[in-house]
Every structure is written in structure tokens, then in C-alpha cells.
């Protein structure tokens, strides 16, 4: 098992290298250069060129890529062309906001999604089931940033209960959590319900009934654990989607997080900022997926056994 | 085999009807079944796939699929109590402790993410009326594993680490855990390799003798019935069309034409026949059963009277045959 | 109970072999929510087709300052925006751009990704290994981020959003098609075809594609919905279609600044996106159940 974990951890390195490569490569196509950004459009072309040369912008792509990786390993993601500030420190300052948003929504979305999923499977064809599946369909179809704006209209502007922007305290995060959690509720609810319905029909559930086990313990002890296996995978993927979705949610609620940083970077054509922030978010996602894989192996003895053998 | 126990019926089924309500119509799976089983006795329930054997077993356990399965009429009497009238909680206590079941497919009958020891222990914990300590219960788990021929040291392993035959042994251990009075074995060897079949069957037989449990053995294999059962019930289209001791059914003179057909469909070492004689036609569609005797469309002796009304009930002692052929004999 | 035993006495006539399409349609139309989805999506499609009949295009572009920021009325059923343009007209014409991006991105992504996946799944070996590794790694970047960086690099325009979403759609299709092909390739009938000396090309077109098409159709229907959502999000962030061209996401971006005075400006475009995606998702679910009845709960 530990060998498997080490193997997976080692696999992260080439993945991150490639992720950085793709992001750098794409951003390299941006029609923007540090000289113009720093000195302004009206500066002398020679001066711009000289500055580009000095900053290493004219080096071949591969050289810049290796330099980026080399510096990134030592915790330096470069400096903003726009402000000259260290990208690493800007991210460090903004990451807590994004992390609070993402983790809070993860908890909110998964608790509600999984709980409703279980209930609607156990009470299939009931009113609750109908309500839950309709809710899941709706939350999955309407854009989360629009749901966010509707929430602002109702709870901030209409009722005046909650603030609509900024990242002051817990109160500021309630609406963003609900907004970003919507998509997770939708996918987790549907997945949990389907998986649970499938599990309830398995033979070993009948075996448990034949033993005289109580219906409650059959659901919590036998069905749930088996049903949650595929849900864990979906949890990982939808967390990734949500992580990227923080970009829009942070825009709607003006939360100063990494997502908003990417948007501002793109508007300013500030390549190091966009590259650094995107690589950090992608790395977070990669690590999370790895964590999900390992978690999966821990709850399913069959998979654990397969890896133990290898 | 052993008929030495008191002639006290432990379970009696009377006029049992079971239906499934599906989108395609009402499936009449069990249509008026009567039989009883005495203490220490084994009754073989024989029939083709789709004859309603498993439905009958699930009806007795009251484990029919909740949304579709229904029992519109009949009685299932266990220890003087009609189980069909009992509340859910009473039934739950009966299951596992008094009546337990061995399932057809051991591959899926065990929870894949729970150690086999824990799955046996679960049964003991549920029905722990004597309030035995955890240590005692764990000792009983070891005992049960050894009883079915598995080393107690393997109790922390998971189902995927066992072969099919071993899994079925574990299912048997679960069924035996609380010393039930009656075991319903639903084709316990069908899903296993032929060589393993004999072993598992011998084990079931052996344990039953040792523990003095009654058993309903569901199978479509007449060989198994011959080896293990005291009494035999032949099922066709949800009805028991012939019932009697193993002696009656295997060596008796009078048989239902379907029983004759069943025996004609298995190879015999003693007879000279060059070819097997399959029964013509197929089992009727349970959503649209034929009128009269349900076997009449396939019966070589079919007469006009077979096509309407219930067939004649020929009785001799405990044995009976539902067929018009024997009407004139009276 | 075994119900496939068929007819014993002619009560149930052996079912005639219906064409596959009719059989699927038969199951699809029994599914109420799938029909709701079909109706919703048909309404949107009609809107796309008859946009010019419903409202003149000029009304969506030309400012009409005297009537700016008016609430819904008989004249402007969904009100007017900050330039006095009729929101209903913009909504109707915007449907074309929103759907174009969604459907375009999915179809082109499907063709390229599907080809890669089919090649990968069918030939296996080294090609498969390389393709799988690369798609796995690209999929480590959350889709929205990939699209955003691509749009940032290519510049904000309708075509570039389409291009960016198409590129980021490729890995997903490669994966779906590859696994669909793999399950089919393993079947005995493919081996049977090979053993008869059937050429590879023939096996792919005659046997593999028709049998793997189910999951692909389902994936397509479902992802048009999510592509429309993604496209809307990009435009909402101000990186997609540039004003004054009408598009639902872009309309929401403009409306954001007037959210307090004119909530209706926010409401209608979002509802349009949601209804379109909802219709597509419901249809996708229905199709999945109709194509493979085993999967139905």
C-alpha cells in the first residue's frame, strides 16, 4: 500500500510539469510582452525591446519554461508585469479566500447532495424523491453565477440578511458557499441516488435481510458504504469543476481570491500572474485527485488488494 | 433418510398465492401451493427455471421485492403462528434465528467490503438474545468457520479472497450461525463447479444431520434430490403438481406426466435409451397462464377436460398428484 | 420470474423485430421528463430559427436611450437594458450565438476527440499509451481554467471562445469513445468478425461504431448543456462575445451593474440559459435510459 502511495506521489511530478508546460505554452501565445506593459504603449520601441531582453522574455520558449520550473521549485513564480509584485506572495495572500470558499462549498455541497441522494433512493418514488431529483436537475442546469446573483437579489437586496460582496467574515461567505455548492449538490445527489438504488438491489443486501438485520442498519451498514464508493470519484471531479468555478463565483461576490486574480491578470494581459495562479489551482486539483484515489483504495478492500500485489 | 424425528410439522404452507405487479401485467408466480415440512426433514422442491421455486422461498422469508411482490392469499404457519399476519419486527426476529436461507449465487451474496468474520458475527449480534459477550460471539464465529471447513484464521479476509465454493461455505456458516430450525437452500450448488458441487452438497447434508435442522432444498437437479431429500415436491407454473416421499416420486408407479417428462430429460446409466426425451414446448408465460391444468398445452395425455377447470387431485396418504389421468382409478 | 419464455399458447405473439430507432423512440416517449426536455429544447430551437420573425435584429443593436432601463411592459415584455434595447429581442437573437458555441464546440470536439479515442481504443499498444497519458494530464487542468487561458491567449471573440472550448472538449471525448470502443472490442462478435478475415476498416465502421454510439450520443447531449453553461460563464466574465452582439452570458455581464435597479435584466437571460441546459440534460437522461434500458433506475 505505501508503495502504491509513493508511486502515485511520484506520478504527480511529471503531471505538474506537463500542466505547467501547457499553461505556459498557451499563455505564450498571448499578444503581450513585459516591456510594453511596464513602459506603456507610448514608450520607445527600443526601450521596450531592451527591457524585454533584460527580463529574459526574448529567450527561446524552452529556456523560459525551464527557468519557470526552476524558480517555481524554489517557491518563486515570478513577478507581475503590471505591478512588479511577487506572484507567490500575491497568491499566498489570496489563497486563503479561495480555500475558504472551496472547502466551505465542498462541505455544504457534499453534505446536502449525499444526504438528499440517500434519502431519495431509500424513499424512491416519494414526494421527497421527486423534489430532490427536480432540485438536482435545476441546480445542474442553471448557471451558478446566475444563481449567485439571484441569491444576492433575495438575501442581500431583498431581505438584507447577508452582505453581497467582500471577504470580511463568515457572513460574507454564506452566499458564495451556497452558490459554488449548487453544482456539487446537483452531481452528488444524482450520483448518490443512482449508486444507492443499484446497491440496494444487490444480493448481499438480501443476505443481510435474511439474517434478520434491521432496515436501518442495512441502509447505514451495508448499502451506504458500498454505494459511496463511486460517489467519492464524482466528489473529486466535481470539486475540480467547482475549483475552476470559483472564478465566476469570486467575480459575482467580489471575493479577492485566486480566481479573481486570474481574471484581473487576463484583462491586464499580465502573463506571470495568470500562469502562476492557474498552475497553483491545477496543482491543487491534481493533488486532490490523488488523494481521492488513495482514499478509494482505503475504503475498498478489493482495490487495496490489487495495489498491494503490484 | 432420517425420518426418526417426531411427526410434528414445523412449517405449513396453505393455499399460497404470490404475484408480481410489473409494467407488463400481473405475473402469477405462485398459484396455490400447499405443503408441510416436519422436524429434521428435508423436502426437495424441484422444477424448471421460472416454476416459482425461488418466489416460494422468498414468500416464506417474506423477502419479496417490496414494490412489486404481493401475497394476496394463503397461510404460512410456523410454530402455530401465521407469518403472513405477523408484523415486520416479529418477522425480522424469525429471519436468521429460526428460518434462514442459503442463496443461489455465492459470488454476490456477501458484502464485498466487510470481512467474512464480521458478516458471520453480524448474524450472531442481531439475534443475541442470551446477551453473550463479544468474546463468546467471536469464538462462535471461529467455531462456525471450522464447521464449514474454513480455517478460523481467515476470518479477517474479504470475500474477494475466497473462491466460489469457499464463499458458499461462508454463506452456509451465516445461515447456520443462530442454530435455525429451518434452512431454505435455494439452488445452493447451481453456481458452482461440478467438482465443488459435490463437496458443498455433502457439507450441507452432513451439517443438517449433525444439527438436526429441517431443510427445504430448492433445485432443478433430480440427482441432488435423490441423494438428499426425504420428500419431494415437483413444481410447475407456480403449483406443486406432485408431492410425495422420495420413494414415491422416484420409484412409485403413478406420476404426473410432467414428472415423467422431467425424468425423461435426464440421462440414465441403466436404461437403454439412446436419446434423451426433452419435454416439448416452453413454460407458460406467467402473465397469461393457460386455463385448466397449466401443463395441458405440453401434455402428451391432454384431453378436453384438462383444458377447463382444476385438474383432479389424486391422493394416497401424504402423497398427491394433480392430474385428470388418475380420475377413473377411484 | 423468467418472462422471456415467450408464448405458450399464442396469447403473446412473438414480438416483431422493430427497427432499433423505433424501439428507442418507443421507450423515450414513455419517459415524461425526457418529453419535457424535448419540448423545452424544441422551443429554444424554434426561437433560434424564427428569431428574425419574433424581433428585428436592429432592435438588439441600436441604442434607444429614451426608453432605457424600463421594466417589463406590454411594449417590451422583458423590459429594456441600459441602452434602451429590448431585452426580449436581444434574448431571441442571443440564442443563436449561445447555441452556436455550445453545439459547435461539442461537435468539433467530438469528431477530433472521437477519432483519437477510437484509434487509441482499437489499436491499443503504444499509440494508446501516449494518447491516454496526454489526455489524462490535460484533464488535470480544470476545464474552465483551460478555456480561460486559451481565450486570454487567443483574444476575446466568438470564434476564439468556440475554438478554446472545442480544444478543451477533445480529451473528454477521447476518453469516453476509447472506453466505449474498448468494451465493444472485447466482445466475442468482434473476435468472430476478425476470425472471418474482415478488414479492420470494415470492423470499425460496421461493428464498433454502431455499438459504441450509445454512450457517445448521451455524452454529446449532456455536454452541449454544460458547454452552453461554460460559454455563458466566459461571456459573463467579459471574455467572450464583445458588445453590442447579443449573447446570454454577455447580457448577464452587462446586467450585473444594474442588478439593484433592474433585477429583471438579470433574471431573463439566466432563465434562458437554465431552460436550454435543463432541456438538454433531461433529453440526455431520457436518451440514456432509452438506449440502454438496463441502466434505468
Q: Give percent of chain B above pLDDT 90.
A: 8
Q: What is the pLDDT of residue B270?
A: 63
Sign of CA dihedral C24, C30, C33, C39: positive
Q: Does domain A88-267 have CATH number 3.60.15.10?
A: no
Q: Which candidate from C2, C9, C12 shows the least CB-CB separation from B50?
A: C2
B neighbour chains, 3+ CB pairs within 8 Å: A, C
Note the pLDDT tens digit of each residue in A4-52.
778 777 878 888 888 888 888 888 887 777 777 777 777 777 877 887 7
The Cα angle at residue B7 between residues B1 and B13, in degrees rounded to 5: 95
User: Block means of pLDDT (10 residues each) for chain C, length 297 residues?
Assistant: 39 49 78 86 86 73 71 71 76 83 86 86 83 81 83 82 86 82 74 75 72 73 82 84 80 81 82 89 82 53
B285 and C1: CB-CB below 8 Å? no
Nearest CA-CA distance, residue A128 and chain C, Å: 16
Domains present along chain C, CATH in parentheses: 23-56+63-291 (1.10.3720.10)
pLDDT confidence tier of residue B272, bands split at 50, 70 and 90: low
- What 3 state SS string does C201-255 have? HHHHHHHHHHHHHHHHHHHHHHHHHHHHHHHHHHHHCCCCCCCCCCCHHHHHHHH
What's the CA gap between C255 and C174, in Å, rounded? 38
C149 and A138: CB-CB below 8 Å? no
Nearest to A219 by CA among A229, A230, A231, A227: A227
Helix/strand/coil for A278: helix
Mutate to test the interface with A, among C32, C94, C144, C295 (most CBs of A within 10 A): C144
Domains present along chain B, CATH in parentheses: 9-98+181-329 (3.40.50.300), 107-177 (no CATH)
| A–C interface: beta-carbon pairs under 8 A | 142
* Of the listed ranges A277-281, A305-309, B198-202, the one predicted with least confidence: A305-309
A213 and B114: CB-CB below 8 Å? no
Domain positions in chain A are 2-73, 88-267
ipTM for the complex? Answer: 0.82
What's the CA gap between B217 and B42, in Å, rounded? 7
Q: What is the pLDDT of residue A116?
A: 93
Using a 10 angstrom Cβ sphere, with 0-12 exposed, 13-18 middle and 19 or more buried, the burial of residue A155 is: middle
What's the CA gap between A54 and A38, in Å, rounded? 13
B27 and C12: CB-CB below 8 Å? no
What's the CA gap between B209 and B231, in Å, rounded? 15
Nearest CA-CA distance, residue A294 and chain B, Å: 16
Q: What predicted TM-score, i.e. pTM, was given to this entire model?
A: 0.79
What's the CA gap between C101 and A201, in Å, rounded? 41
- What 3 state SS string does B21-71 have? EECCEEEEEEEEEEEEEECCCEEEEECCCCCCHHHHHHHHHCCCCCCCEEE
- Is C262 near chain A, with CB under 8 Å? no
Residues of A in contact with B100 (CB under 8 A): 210-211
- Residue pair B204/B188 in contact (Cβ under 8 Å)? The answer is yes
What's the CA gap between A146 and B20, in Å, rounded? 47
What's the CA gap between B5 and B212, in Å, rounded? 9
Residues of B in contact with A214 (CB under 8 A): 92, 126
What's the CA gap between A13 and B326, in Å, rounded? 83
Sign of CA dihedral A284, A286, A292, A297: negative
Q: Which candidate from B112, B126, B160 shows the least CB-CB separation from A226?
A: B112
Amino acid at each position: 500500500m505505501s508503495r502504491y502511495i509513493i508511486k502515485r506521489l511520484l506520478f504527480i511530478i511529471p503531471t505538474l510539469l506537463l500542466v505547467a508546460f501547457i499553461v505556459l505554452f498557451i499563455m505564450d501565445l498571448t499578444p503581450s510582452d513585459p516591456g510594453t506593459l511596464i513602459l506603456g504603449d507610448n514608450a520607445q520601441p527600443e526601450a521596450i525591446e531592451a527591457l524585454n531582453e533584460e527580463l529574459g522574455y526574448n529567450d527561446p520558449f524552452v529556456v523560459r519554461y525551464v527557468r519557470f520550473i526552476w524558480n517555481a521549485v524554489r517557491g518563486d513564480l515570478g513577478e507581475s508585469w503590471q505591478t512588479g509584485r511577487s506572484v507567490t506572495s500575491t497568491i499566498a495572500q489570496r489563497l486563503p479566500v479561495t480555500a475558504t470558499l472551496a472547502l466551505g462549498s465542498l462541505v455544504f455541497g457534499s453534505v446536502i447532495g449525499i444526504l438528499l441522494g440517500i434519502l431519495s433512493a431509500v424513499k424512491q418514488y416519494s414526494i421527497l424523491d421527486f423534489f430532490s431529483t427536480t432540485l438536482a436537475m435545476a441546480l445542474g442546469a442553471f448557471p451558478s453565477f446566475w444563481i449567485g446573483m439571484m441569491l444576492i437579489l433575495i438575501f442581500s437586496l431583498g431581505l438584507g440578511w447577508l452582505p453581497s460582496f467582500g471577504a470580511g467574515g463568515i457572513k460574507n461567505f454564506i452566499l458564495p458557499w451556497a452558490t459554488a455548492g449548487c453544482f456539487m449538490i446537483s452531481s452528488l445527489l444524482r450520483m448518490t441516488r443512482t449508486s444507492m438504488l443499484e446497491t440496494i438491489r444487490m444480493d448481499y443486501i438480501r443476505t443481510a435481510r435474511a439474517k434478520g438485520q434491521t432496515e436501518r442498519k442495512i441502509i447505514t451498514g451495508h448499502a451506504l458504504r458500498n454505494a459511496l464508493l463511486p460517489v467519492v470519484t464524482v466528489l473529486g471531479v466535481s470539486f475540480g469543476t467547482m475549483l475552476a468555478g470559483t472564478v465566476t463565483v469570486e467575480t459575482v461576490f467580489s471575493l479577492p481570491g485566486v480566481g479573481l486574480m486570474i481574471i484581473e491578470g487576463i484583462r491586464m494581459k499580465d502573463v506571470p500572474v495568470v500562469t502562476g495562479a492557474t498552475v497553483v489551482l491545477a496543482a491543487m486539483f491534481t493533488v486532490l485527485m490523488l488523494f481521492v484515489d488513495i482514499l478509494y483504495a482505503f475504503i475498498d478492500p478489493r482495490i487495496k488488494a490489487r495495489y498491494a500485489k503490484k | 433418510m432420517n425420518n426418526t424425528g417426531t411427526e410434528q410439522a414445523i412449517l405449513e404452507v396453505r393455499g399460497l398465492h404470490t404475484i408480481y405487479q410489473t409494467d407488463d401485467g400481473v405475473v402469477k408466480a405462485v398459484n396455490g401451493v400447499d405443503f408441510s415440512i416436519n422436524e429434521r426433514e428435508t423436502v426437495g422442491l424441484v422444477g424448471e427455471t421460472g416454476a416459482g421455486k425461488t418466489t416460494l422461498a422468498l414468500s416464506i422469508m417474506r423477502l419479496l421485492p417490496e414494490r412489486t411482490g404481493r401475497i394476496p392469499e394463503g397461510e404460512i404457519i410456523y410454530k402455530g403462528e401465521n407469518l403472513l399476519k405477523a408484523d415486520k419486527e416479529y418477522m425480522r426476529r424469525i429471519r436468521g434465528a429460526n428460518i434462514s436461507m442459503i442463496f443461489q449465487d455465492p459470488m454476490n451474496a456477501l458484502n464485498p467490503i466487510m470481512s467474512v468474520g464480521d458478516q458471520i458475527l453480524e448474524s450472531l449480534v442481531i439475534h443475541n438474545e442470551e446477551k453473550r459477550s463479544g468474546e463468546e460471539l467471536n469464538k462462535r464465529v471461529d467455531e462456525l468457520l471450522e464447521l464449514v471447513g474454513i480455517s478460523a484464521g481467515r476470518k479477517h479476509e474479504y470475500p474477494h479472497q475466497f473462491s466460489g465454493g469457499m464463499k458458499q461455505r461462508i454463506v452456509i456458516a451465516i445461515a447456520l450461525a443462530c442454530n435455525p430450525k429451518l434452512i431454505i437452500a435455494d439452488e445452493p450448488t447451481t453456481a458452482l463447479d461440478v467438482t465443488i458441487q459435490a463437496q458443498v452438497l455433502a457439507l450441507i447434508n452432513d451439517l443438517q444431520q449433525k444439527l438436526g435442522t429441517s431443510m427445504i432444498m430448492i433445485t432443478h437437479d433430480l440427482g441432488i434430490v435423490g441423494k438428499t431429500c426425504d420428500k419431494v415436491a415437483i413444481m410447475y407454473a407456480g403449483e406443486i403438481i406432485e408431492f410425495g416421499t422420495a420413494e414415491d416420486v422416484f420409484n412409485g408407479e403413478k406420476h404426473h406426466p410432467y414428472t415423467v417428462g422431467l425424468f425423461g430429460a435426464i440421462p440414465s446409466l441403466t436404461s437403454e435409451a439412446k436419446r434423451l426425451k426433452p419435454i416439448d414446448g416452453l413454460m407458460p408465460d406467467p402473465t397469461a397462464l393457460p386455463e385448466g391444468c397449466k401443463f395441458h398445452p405440453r401434455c402428451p395425455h391432454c384431453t378436453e377436460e384438462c383444458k377447463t377447470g382444476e385438474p383432479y387431485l389424486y391422493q394416497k396418504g401424504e402423497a398427491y398428484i394433480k392430474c385428470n389421468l388418475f380420475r377413473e382409478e377411484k | 420470474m423468467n418472462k422471456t419464455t415467450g408464448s405458450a399458447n399464442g396469447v403473446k405473439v412473438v414480438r416483431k423485430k422493430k427497427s432499433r430507432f423505433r424501439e428507442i423512440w418507443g421507450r423515450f416517449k414513455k419517459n415524461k421528463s425526457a418529453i419535457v426536455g424535448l419540448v423545452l429544447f424544441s422551443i429554444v430551437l424554434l426561437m433560434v430559427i424564427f428569431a428574425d420573425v419574433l424581433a428585428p435584429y436592429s432592435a438588439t443593436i441600436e441604442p434607444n436611450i429614451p426608453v432605457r432601463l424600463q421594466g417589463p411592459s406590454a411594449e417590451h415584455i422583458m423590459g429594456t437594458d441600459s441602452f434602451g434595447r429590448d431585452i426580449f429581442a436581444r434574448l431571441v437573437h442571443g440564442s443563436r450565438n449561445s447555441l452556436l458555441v455550445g453545439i459547435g464546440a461539442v461537435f468539433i470536439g467530438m469528431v477530433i476527440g472521437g477519432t483519437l479515442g477510437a484509434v487509441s481504443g482499437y489499436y491499443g499498444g503504444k499509440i494508446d499509451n501516449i494518447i491516454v497519458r496526454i489526455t489524462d494530464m490535460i484533464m488535470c487542468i480544470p476545464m474552465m481554467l483551460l478555456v480561460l487561458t486559451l481565450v486570454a491567449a487567443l483574444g476575446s471573440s466568438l470564434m476564439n471562445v468556440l475554438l478554446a472550448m472545442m480544444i478543451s472538449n477533445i480529451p473528454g471525448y477521447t476518453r469516453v469513445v476509447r472506453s466505449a470502443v474498448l468494451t465493444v472490442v472485447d466482445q466475442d462478435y468482434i473476435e468472430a468478425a476478425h476470425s472471418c478475415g474482415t478488414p479492420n476498416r470494415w470492423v470499425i465502421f460496421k461493428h464498433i461504431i454502431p455499438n459504441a454510439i450509445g454512450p457517445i450520443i448521451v455524452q454529446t447531449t449532456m455536454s452541449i448543456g454544460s458547454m452552453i453553461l461554460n460559454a455563458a460563464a466566459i461571456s459573463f466574465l467579459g471574455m467572450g462575445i464583445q458588445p453590442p452582439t447579443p449573447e446570454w452570458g454577455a447580457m448577464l455581464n452587462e446586467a450585473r451593474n444594474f442588478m439593484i435597479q433592474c433585477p429583471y435584466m438579470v433574471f431573463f437571460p439566466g432563465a434562458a440559459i437554465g431552460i436550454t441546459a435543463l432541456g438538454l440534460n433531461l433529453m440526455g437522461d431520457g436518451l440514456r435510459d432509452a438506449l440502454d434500458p438496463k441502466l434505468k433506475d
